[in-house]
Amino acid sequence: MRDFLLWKNANKWFYASSTAATWIWAPAIFISSDKAYFNGVWGFLMFLIPNIMTLVLFAYFAEMGRNKIDGFTIVDAIANAGHRQKRLHLTVSVIVLICSTCVQMLGLHTLFAAWFELPKWLTAMTVSVLAITMVGRSGIKGSIQTDAVKYVVMFLAGVVLLVPTVQACSDIRLTGMYDSSFMEMAAVFGVSTAIGLFSAPYVDQTFWQRVFSMPQGEVKSIFFRSAALFALIPLLFGLIGFYQVSEDPKWSIAQAFSSSTLNIVLALCVIAALLSTLDSNLCAVASLACREFGCSINSGRAAMVTLMTAGSLVMIMTTTTITDLFLLYGTIRTCVALPTILIILGRYDKQRLFYSTLLGILIAPVGFILCSDYRWLFTLLALVIPALGFTKFKERAK
């Protein structure tokens, strides 16, 4: 039972590669290459740098939380905030897990749809069976153990795909197909991406489950390693985008290779990234179910099946692009990022924090969906509104 929820006996590199592999997520391969191809250096860096900095910044907070908190879920981290605040956090955590699961499936379906006429339901069913089979028995231990292998697969695949790309295309286009300016990219993509990414770990149970598994005093160094390991993967696929200098407005990495062998390598890479995040999501929802409904492995496994079913249904019904869905659920999780930090620091007023968090959840995601031109503003509001719950008097948080 203990290894199903936490695995405390792993090597530090296992924890680092598992965190990196979970953070990579399948669409990162598409987004890093797409931004390099279409928007050049600025678009690529506005995706790469916030991803790296998120892990680096969270390292300090995670180590502090690991030393102060005894538990295995985000709910344990905010245990003193009151029942209503915990319900909000738990609700957002589950929504984020569903959206993340949906995005992973969309990433794989995007790849398969470029090669075959596969319906969405078949992709969803295949992925669900694979993911549940991988961790349904062993939980987080199985996830961390297999993540090291998945990371190696992703890295080697990136190298194998980059070498022939460089050989075939002697020119590199750093400006991108659309030669996007810094300010243009910041307004359309950069601000929302950075805020959404920076807020991600604080409400993401896949991170907290690993933090609580890591030995005290080692969390920060492990996250630094994971940041370095993560950076290598989007860098490899971003370079592939830079070296693809065609003028195809519908280009994606799924169509970049004419060789069936290289396409198989790409498929293996995407599947490895997808399964790494999916099995982490399954372990996360299982731990939340065990925390809320009693420490029963069967309740955890039932939660896994429920998550995959919900994620599959959203994926089948949605017409939203990967990037837009990624930015939307980034806005949702931003609403509870600052409250999590304030609670752990003890710098909050219980009443004001609850209502400000609720206000952010009601305003920011709805505004993001309805407003196409200034979406970044609502992502910023998702971060700022909950700040109304801050107080400098630590004793008021009791």
Render pLDDT for 156-171 as a digit per residue (tens, 0 to 9).
Answer: 999 999 999 998 887 8
With CA atoms as reference, report the closest residue to 331 among 302, 363, 309: 363
Could you list the pLDDT tens digit for every one of the 398 residues in the chain? Answer: 567 888 888 889 999 999 999 898 766 888 899 999 998 898 899 899 999 999 999 999 888 888 877 778 888 888 888 889 989 888 988 988 998 888 888 877 877 777 777 788 888 888 888 888 888 888 899 899 999 999 999 999 999 999 999 988 878 888 878 877 777 777 777 787 788 788 888 888 899 999 999 988 899 999 999 999 999 999 999 999 999 877 788 888 888 888 889 989 998 998 898 888 899 999 999 999 988 877 678 888 899 999 999 989 988 887 777 777 777 878 888 899 999 989 888 889 999 999 999 999 999 888 888 887 777 788 889 989 999 999 876 644 44
The fold of 2-336 is: Amino acid/polyamine transporter I (1.20.1740)
Report pLDDT digits (tens) over 250-290.
888 888 888 889 989 998 998 898 888 899 999 999 999 98
Nearest 10 degrees: CA dihedral of 122, 124, 129, 130? Answer: 100
Nearest to 223 by CA among 50, 14, 59, 6: 59
Q: Are 250 and 58 in contact (CB under 8 A)?
A: no
Return the domain boundaries, the chain. Answer: 2-336
Predicted TM-score (pTM) of the model is 0.85
What are the counts of helices (DSSP H) followed by strands (DSSP E) for the chain? Answer: 17, 0
